[in-house]
Structure 1
Amino acid sequence: MKKVLAISGSLRAASRNTGLLRYAQANAPEGMSIEIADLRDMPFYNADFPTPTPPVTRLFEQLRAADGLLLACTEYNYSIAPALKNALDWASREKDNHLLAGKPTALCGAAGGMGSSRAQYHLRQVAVFLDLRVLSKPEVFSNAFGESFNAAGDPVDEKLQGQIKQQLQALLAVL
């Protein structure tokens, strides 16, 4: 069984990005399990406080156990949401970047306009430095404000659901 840690850049309860992860978790292919990280209590990274707090330690344990990552990247001002970037910043400070280096990673996201494409491309730049192995295809960009999601933030559009399933199959193939 391959373990995937899913991390959402959005902290809202009805987040469409977290909804993408819930859908992925419920529809993981055979041979894959998905755990969703909770970043709500994660403090901002600060090198003056090198001892991780319990939320940071929990994330480190989840990353250590994960064979791969699924990152749901919302878009704030054409860039990565602070919650997601902060989690990656904390993890990257571990000795030799051992929590992230070489991990197969899939990106998905929902936002306005171009459906988080700008933020995902920015995240790909960050991933190069972190030595994450980001899948090239399939890309999953969704408009968060259309009819693709219900009020709880869960994807209801069959095309979007199919894209998520295809992406999970592609991720499983490289785990």
Structure 2
Amino acid sequence: MPTEPTEQQPPAAHGPVEVRRSDRRRRTVSAYREGDRTIVLIPARMSKAEERRWVTAMLDRLAAKEAKRSVPGGDTELAERAGRLSERYFEGRARPGSVRWVTNQNTRWGSCTPAEGTIRLSHRLRGMPEYVVDYVLCHELAHLLVPGHGPDFWRLLEAYPRTERARGYLEGVAATARTPDVPPDVTDDEEV
């Protein structure tokens, strides 16, 4: 039977922390965000000293995971980045009207509407290596100049030197997502 949750005073950046002890939990500690609060699940038998150590460790782990997912500057930084890539690889000819992150693209990495000059990148790219995000941006910028995926499009995209490497990375991510037997690459559960 779970014991009463306890409040801990965390470092200010983390917000309130609720520790939930469970008699059923034997060997794992996990943590997740619930609104502005962090919930840390621990075995009931854990000492107060172990609790403090694990709470600190799990807060650090969550913060690192969240930092990896976020991209500083959001849409403004993304648009500036697209502008720099256009200058470098397309002689400034690809000029999008807007470039932004979106959360409604779960089967594509990015999309472009040449008639409107809009580029949208999936939030799933956040936290991926910069060269991968740059590749997807270059791919969508190239669509502003050449619609479709014909030979002219791929010739234009050859200007970005890490195209093949980035495509391989994205293919690997997609294959992993389709493989049910592969465990998630990051877990919030930790052996005690």
Bigger fraction of residues in helix: 2
Larger-Rg structure: 2
* TM-score using structure 1 length: 0.25
The higher-RCO structure (CA 8 Å, 6+ apart) is 1
